[in-house]
Amino acid sequence: MLFIRQENLKIGMRLAKPIYNKKGVLLYERDSKLTTQGIESVKNFGIIGLYILEPAEPVPPMTPDDIEFERFQMVSSFMIQDELKAIKDTGKTTSQLATLVASIIRGYGRLDRKINFVQNLRSREDKLAKHSLNVAMLSAMITHRLNVKLSEQNDAVTAAIVHDIGKLDVPEEIDSKPVRSEEDEKTILNCQIRGESMIEGAFLATPAIKRIVQQFRRLSEEAKKGEIDKNAKITTGAKVLLVANDYDSMTAMNDFDEPKSEISALRYLMERPEIYDDQIVNALIESINFLAPGSCVELTNGEKGLVLAENKYNILEPMILCFSDNKIIDLGQELIYGDLKIKDMMKTLDNRCVMDQDALKKMGYRL
């Protein structure tokens, strides 16, 4: 599977993922062949590129949840782009913001199961909207697991959507740098602070939104120094936003930086309880499939294997079937396996775990 930018698309290429318009209407199914009209549609809808199957490559498996997840991301990221621009230009929110927040909570803030949280490629043009959306979806799932009141969940999701609005003012020459100077970081910080003023003006009736964003920004600054003030009175929304923001930032796929795997990002959060609240990180673990049965992993001893069962006490210590000799390893039995750990996950090119759910079900494993 390859990512092909829109200017390099050719007639006859097979789609690896479905294409939707801004309203969520399906335009092209997976495995469809691109036509001249299809390529024009991609350009007209502002899509930077498509995942394309290689000539002999089969269509990768996607569950109904996966397909709906991608449709929702496509539609909602366009809405967020429009909303952030409206706030910046007019100082006011539009009527669609409340609708968007409600749809995020309805779709992802009431789930009774884990989902696959699959990252999509981002360009410099749409990375802010896609990041804001993903952080909002993660915040909805986490606050649901924390069992917070609906009003607090609504505030957390709203704050997640607008928390980076100040970055709309970051100069292109700074935003495009792979490595930024201390002076660049100061410029970005000043843009974020000005963004908080935009948020204050747009949400005069709900000051909790600015409070969450402001506290999140201060937490982020402290986290970079490793000096979180545990005595400060921090809202749950700000702590949730810190975890959701940093997790998405680490795992985001884009065309200018290499992402961390979900396991590497999760390990980073778990190993820093002085920065990231344990309960919130656990709520994240309860919301997303990190090492679901069928995931393929590499161990620290070089062995590769298939996850057979999760460990409900420690997500990083599942039961694994080794490919080399069909030996079953239970990483939860530390007395037997000592320092043997999961090094990382094995991925397909679109960053999705490889799994054959039908085969696992035939073996008697419940997914």
In a domain, 58, yes or no: no
Q: Are residues 164 and 312 in the same domain?
A: no
Tokens representing 64? 């109904």
Domain of 75: which CATH number? 1.10.3210.10
**What are the pLDDT digits (tens) for 158-201?**
999 999 999 999 998 888 787 889 899 999 999 999 999 999 99
Q: Are residues 300 and 281 in the same domain?
A: no
What pLDDT, on a 0 to 100 scale, did the predictor assign at position 260? Answer: 85
Q: Using CA atoms, how far apart are residues 204 and 209, in angstroms rounded to an integer?
A: 9
Q: Using CA atoms, how far apart are residues 88 and 92, in angstroms rounded to an integer?
A: 8
What pLDDT, on a 0 to 100 scale, did the predictor assign at position 186? Answer: 92
pLDDT band at residue 19, thresholds of 50, 70 and 90?
A: confident
Residue 57 CB coordination number (10 Å)? 14
- Strand, helix or coil at 133? helix
What pLDDT, on a 0 to 100 scale, did the predictor assign at position 64? Answer: 82
Q: Are residues 92 and 120 in the same domain?
A: yes
In a domain, 328, yes or no: yes
**Taking residues 229-245, what's their average pLDDT?**
92
Q: Using CA atoms, how far apart are residues 179 and 159, in angstroms rounded to an integer?
A: 28
**Taking residues 249-255, what's their average pLDDT?**
78
Q: Which of 37-46, 177-186, 269-278, 341-350 has the highest mean pLDDT?
A: 269-278
Identify whether the C-beta of residue 145 lies closer than 8 Å to the C-beta of residue 109: no
- Strand, helix or coil at 308? strand
Tokens representing 157? 């999701």
**Taking residues 95-111, what's their average pLDDT?**
95
Tokens representing 77? 């990221």
Q: Are residues 83 and 232 in the same domain?
A: yes
Q: Are residues 137 and 79 in the same domain?
A: yes
Structurally, the chain folds into a number of domains equal to 3
> In the chain, pLDDT over 90 holds for what percent of residues?
50
Q: Are residues 277 and 324 in the same domain?
A: no
**Taking residues 251-260, what's their average pLDDT?**
71
pLDDT band at residue 25, thresholds of 50, 70 and 90?
A: confident
Identify whether the C-beta of residue 2 lies closer than 8 Å to the C-beta of residue 54: yes
Determine the residue type at 220: S
H helices then E strands: how many in the chain? 13, 12
Q: Are residues 142 and 247 in the same domain?
A: yes
Q: Are residues 11 and 136 in the same domain?
A: no
In a domain, 180, yes or no: yes
Question: The domain containing residue 8 runs over which residues?
Answer: 2-53
In a domain, 367, yes or no: no
Domain of 14: which CATH number? 3.90.105.10
In a domain, 143, yes or no: yes
In a domain, 290, yes or no: no
pLDDT band at residue 351, thresholds of 50, 70 and 90?
A: very low
What pLDDT, on a 0 to 100 scale, did the predictor assign at position 239? Answer: 96
Q: Using CA atoms, how far apart are residues 36 and 34, in angstroms rounded to an integer?
A: 7
Angstrom distances, CA of residue 311 to CA of 265, 307, 316, 337: 18, 10, 7, 15
- b/e burial code for range 340-355 (CB count within 10 A of at least 16 → b): bebbebeeeebbbbeb
Q: Are residues 135 and 173 in the same domain?
A: yes
Residue 1 CB coordination number (10 Å)? 16
In a domain, 59, yes or no: no
Q: Using CA atoms, how far apart are residues 272 and 228, in angstroms rounded to an integer?
A: 11
Phi, psi of 351 (to 5 degrees): 70, 25
What pLDDT, on a 0 to 100 scale, did the predictor assign at position 350? Answer: 47
What mean pLDDT value characterizes the chain?
87
**Taking residues 71-93, what's their average pLDDT?**
91
Nearest to 171, CA basis, from 147, 196, 190: 190
